[in-house]
Structure 1
Amino acid sequence: MSAINSLTAMDVAIMAAAPSATVVPAPDGEQIAAFNKLLFAGTPQGDVGSLTPSQMLVQQATTLGATVGVDLGAKVAGAVSQSVNKLANMT
């Protein structure tokens, strides 16, 4: 058995003997409130817990539309600036 294999066998034996348990702390009320505030941004405060699936889909479509619009605007601006740079470098 080579030195690398013996070290690997020792590491595996140590890892198997002492399983590690990661303790995840429970979230407090302030963290839950902050998460809900971010999750339900743009909805009236009274309706935070009572969104229907259709309302959720409308909110998702609005967010997707904004994301696609910004991405398209950035691509157009990049293409225009690249064209202007090419024209400026030609002269």
Structure 2
Amino acid sequence: MAKKTFYVVQPFELGKRGALQAGRAMEARTAADAERIARRMAIVNAGAIAFSRDVDPDSDDADPPVLIASFGQVPDSTLEAA
């Protein structure tokens, strides 16, 4: 079966000791929506990223994430953990 593309926005917040922590991720409908939402989330959080990921629904096989946009403070290894 064909892979499906998911668009995700991941905000980051500053923890108690100033360390960046991932907030609650959310799915977007399109790449443009994901970028717009990430831009807005970065205003009220330390930062946010928008990325896409192709997933095969039958096997749950996923391609590596592809960064769409990054705003504010985000960890350097953000996409490695996604």
User: What TM bracket, shorter-length normalisation?
Assistant: under 0.3
More helix per residue? 1
More strand per residue? 2
Q: Which one has a bigger Cα radius of gyration? A: 1
> What is the TM-score of this pair, normalised by structure 2?
0.21
> What is the TM-score of this pair, normalised by structure 1?
0.19
